[in-house]
A and B are shown apart, each in its own frame.
Chain A
Amino acid sequence: MKLRNILILLVALILIYGILIAVAELPPYGNPDNPAYNQVAQRYINQPIEDTGVPNMVTAIVLDYRAYDTMFETIVLFTAALAVVITLKSSEKGGGDQ
């Protein structure tokens, strides 16, 4: 039992050390030279009005650049509502006769 705890501690420490090394290698937060700030983000920030005619940048991304994402988001919402209605309505009527 004691040996097992020591082994678990050892494995956990090795894992924590590895993750910390990976975190230390990350680029600094908010640095404009980060690889995440590529030309896609530049384009979304610089010309939403030319591309979509909408001054609200968030709406331009959500409903135009990323319209597929929002469409399936609404389908997820629809499915969630459908599941709740099916579950609760059928339990109200049924009473376990099936």
Chain B
Amino acid sequence: MRDYILKRMAAVILGFISMYGFYVILHGHISPGGSFAGGIIVGLSFIAFSTIYGIQDGSAKLPEKILVWVESYGTLWYGLMGLVGIVKGAPFLANKLAGVDLGTPGTLSSGGLISLIGLGVGIRVASTMVTLFFTLMEEEA
């Protein structure tokens, strides 16, 4: 009740911050920005939620199980994308050499594997930020 204004403003703004982070991740290949910057923005929106609403509510929104899952499989996702090249008979992590359709440069679906790899990297950067924050905060509490 004490932080009524802060909580209501956060409820309005944080969704848009999170959405903007995903926008930066998904448009990393056609605009300034990229998966690392976008992942940081997504992670910071969850960190801001946890600092405003309390660490218990934050952990309830994003349980540790999901964080660990995203972090591990986000790293594995990169390797799986690299295996596409080997399956097609090209070097590991090949993109154009593997015959992936690059699309029209400048559109959202262009770049072949680059946007998919970027999505994985962005999501796992966000989960790393949130994991480190939760772990350090729980240690302090």
> Measuring CB to CB, which residues of chain A are less than 8 angstroms from any residue of chain B?
49, 51-56, 58-60, 62-64, 67-68, 70-71, 74-75, 77-78, 80-81, 84-85, 88-89, 91-92
Contact = CB atoms under 8 A, between A and B. Distances in A.
Interface of B: 28-32, 34-35, 71-72, 74-75, 78-79, 82, 92-93, 95-96, 102-106, 110-112, 114, 117-118, 121, 124-125, 128, 131-132, 135-136, 138-139
Contacts, number: 98
A56 B31 contact: yes
A74 B75 CA distance: 7
A63 B139 CA distance: 35
A49 B75 contact: no
Contacts of B92: 68
B82 A71 contact: yes
B102 A85 contact: no
Contact of A63 (B102, B118, B136): B118
A78 B128 contact: yes
Given A59-B28, A74-B124, A81-B71, A64 B95 contact: yes
A1 to B, nearest CB: 47
Given A63-B118, A71-B93, A53 B102 contact: yes
